[in-house]
Amino acid sequence: MNKIARFILFDILKNKIVIFYTILLFIISWSVLGLEGNYTKATLSLLNVVLLVVPLVSIIFSTIYVYNSSQFIELLLSQPVPRVKVWFNIFLGLSTALIFAFLIGCGIPILLYSSIETGFSLIIIGVLLSVIFTSFAMLSAILTRDRAKGIGISIFIWLFFSIIYDGILLILMFQFSDYPIEGIMATLAGLNPVGLSRIFVLLQLNISAMLGYSGAVFQKVFGSGGGMGISMLILLLWATVPFILSLIKFNKKDL
């Protein structure tokens, strides 16, 4: 890891918000998994927490951190350091710190109380969501100099993927229920990283009744094994594409 990324990593790990986030995740995970005898129910409960809390904290904290680091970024760019290296190391430091916070907060209780297969899939989803929404945060922060607008964009992205998107899918389902739209719905399900993360874990649990319409269609089109592989590939694309767009914008932006 580069010196810039290490500096950002250790700086974030000492941040009170990240420490509180880690402790909160640990308390919630330990409470849910330790007090619930049925590990499937406990995993579902923890999954709902992870799908809401991890993206929200990752995108809001990362956006604010990038804005607060504007003078540090300008100082780095005044040195003979390529812009690509600076932006990538900021992303690397942010995402690594949030991954560490998640692994300590949720990973330890999951490994202690949950089954290996289900727990591992939940850990993978938490790590990927941390990276994905850090990537979105980098894009939001570079789109505008206005801190309020940048944070507003980040909040809207979280709201859209966590709440609004499922409502849009339901409207489309009812409007075009008379047509064979299974393939289209399966494709649209993959355009939401939060919904896709839920499908990934539920496919591991093999709970078809809990998948919802888009998840059931996804399982029908791709099957459990193929669906999990495609889900992982799409989630990796979600982690990469927003960062690449932010990098292109950062290279062209006059700071």
Structural domain boundaries in the chain: 3-252
Condensed to tens digits (0 to 9), the pLDDT of residues 214-225 reads 555 555 555 555
Q: Which long-range contacts (CB under 8 A, 24 or more apart) does 28-33 make?
A: 28/53, 29/105, 29/106, 29/108, 29/109, 29/110, 30/109, 30/113, 33/109, 33/110, 33/112, 33/113, 33/114
pLDDT at 56: 94
Condensed to tens digits (0 to 9), the pLDDT of residues 230-252 reads 778 888 999 999 999 999 999 88
Are the CB atoms for 2 and 85 separated by under 8 Å? Answer: yes
- CA-CA distance, 18 to 134, in Å (whole number)? 14
Mean pLDDT of the chain: 82
Are the CB atoms for 44 and 128 separated by under 8 Å? Answer: no
